[in-house]
Amino acid sequence: MSKQNNTFERVLVGVDDSADAQLAFRYAMHRCIKDNSTLIITSILESNEMNVYQALSNDYVHGERKELEEHLKSYRKVAIEAGVKRVELVVAEGDPGETIVKDVIPASNADLLVIGSLSKKGIRKYFGSQAAYMAKYSPISIMIIR
């Protein structure tokens, strides 16, 4: 597929609950509607946010993952209602930047990654370390929304 016309067939968007991730989701959604592309929505279960007891408890991890999967279904509903024809969901575990670059992109066969620019922790108004990592190492085109 030629990229001269700037269309992408499989658009991957990383979501968490930060405001800029919501912007990234909206951008990716509208882009998919315009280009008739598949939207792939991913969210990463961050193991470093769990304490040692939670990490050792399979029930806890399973519960967190189930919750995240349910949360992504609400994103899918919004996208479909907005007019996106094909939506896929991917939940993975680990460090978000690394997991998206090394696991989610190859597995999903995405050709564009759309992410927000800020860290989701605190009120740090600088380029997020996850976004910086993905911008540097992503094997596909990347759009950073701010």
Number of domains in the chain: 1
Q: For residue 46, give the CATH number of its domain.
A: 3.40.50.620
The average pLDDT across 131-136 equals: 90
Task: Read off the pTM.
Answer: 0.86
Q: Is residue 43 part of a domain?
A: yes
Query: For all residues of the chain together, what is the average pLDDT?
Result: 86
- Residue-wise pLDDT for 91-124, tens only, equals 998 888 999 999 999 999 999 999 988 755 544 4
Which domain, by its residues, includes 32? Answer: 11-145
For residue 20, pLDDT over 50 is answered with: yes
To the nearest 10°, report the CA torsion of 81, 85, 86, 87.
Answer: -20
Q: Is residue 4 part of a domain?
A: no
Q: Is residue 83 part of a domain?
A: yes
Q: Is residue 5 part of a domain?
A: no
Half-sphere exposure in the Cβ direction for 145 (13 Å, CA): 21
Decide if 113 contacts 139 (C-beta within 8 A): no
Q: Is residue 132 part of a domain?
A: yes
Q: Is residue 34 part of a domain?
A: yes
